[in-house]
Amino acid sequence: MAVLTVRNVPDEVHRALRLPTAQHGQSTEAEIREILASAVKPEKRVRLGDALAALGRKVGLTNEDVAAMDQTREKKPAEPMRFE
């Protein structure tokens, strides 16, 4: 796990951290880890499959449309790229 040092934290910010730390019954370090995690991680990750399904619903894509695309798709595997 990485170690992070934050210097020059204003006294009023440090004092303000004490209240939620005491309310949650944890160390200041644990409270800061939670604050950082909630600031940089979205509450709900956007998953690619969910995003594509939502896009399909938005444009009105039906199962018949998908079946038609599947029938027209080339079935043989693609040739690998050559860098010669």
Nearest of 20, 23, 50 to residue 38 by alpha carbon: 20
pLDDT of residue 78: 83
pLDDT band at 8 (very low <50, low <70, confident <90, very high): very high
pLDDT of 14 over the 80 cut: yes
pLDDT of residue 12: 92
CB 36 within 8 A of CB 22: no
Mean pLDDT, the chain, as a whole number? Answer: 87
d(CA 4, CA 39): 16
Average pLDDT, stretch 20-42?
Answer: 86
In the chain, where the domains are located: 11-40
Average pLDDT, stretch 51-56?
Answer: 91
Instruction: Say which residue, 12 or 46, is predicted with more confidence.
Output: 12
